[in-house]
Structure 1
Amino acid sequence: MYKLTIVFGVLLLALGLGTYLGTGQQYPTSLIPAYFGLVLAVSGFLANTENTKKRMLWMHIAVTVGLLGFLGTAKSIYDEIKLLQGAYFKLPLAVQEKCAMSVLCLIFTVLCVRSFIAARKARLA
């Protein structure tokens, strides 16, 4: 699971840096997904250990960051739908970036929860 965490961290880093560079480095808030990605990537690297307790700790930290990333940007999914229907937003690229972050964080969180459930069932069996 740590590899998946690193992959999602890199995806969020690329999203944040790509948007920041794509906007001509005008909007530093477009780096927010990169910060979340950095935390995920570092958590993934630290979860790559034989120590079960440390691995569990870092993966729970990672899924918490993913959940917070989703909850903080969930409204943007609705905004993206409105944008596609023709609604006006001052910064449409910001809406798209937040929507992409929201979807990435949601997918990551769901995959982590599924993995946690499977690990608990395997431990109990």
Structure 2
Amino acid sequence: MGKISTADIELINIQIGSLLRLARLRKGLSQLDLALLINSNPTMIGRIERFKGKTSWEKILVICKELDFNFCELFELRSKESLLSVVEETLQYEDKLTKEKMKFYDSLKREIEEKFKLVGKGH
């Protein structure tokens, strides 16, 4: 395994947030619903989903257990197309798609594209 770049780490963080958001929305849960289920707060859930700041792997594991999501899948970087597909599917589950949320998703897609260009390893 080669050296891990900052772009690789950023893509993994994006992937974790995107996959967990999709899993939550598939279950029909709000950030508040999930936070209550895991004895946390919706701000922490939002930060993970927007890949802001650092979160312990223990908290991510608890979220995965609650959402029936395979924890290990979060850390194997998917292809650009697969990750963009996750974002598109997430859009379909959003019931309150505001202009701000749409901006977030558009920005997220651009960021995924840019990070994969930086990584440039044929992901």
TM-score tier, shorter chain, comes to 0.3 to 0.5
TM-score by length of 1: 0.35
Task: Please tell me whether Structure 1 or Structure 2 has the larger radius of gyration of its CA atoms.
Answer: 1
TM-score by length of 2: 0.35
Which protein has greater RCO, CA pairs closer than 8 Å, 6+ apart? 2
Pick the structure with more helix per residue: 1
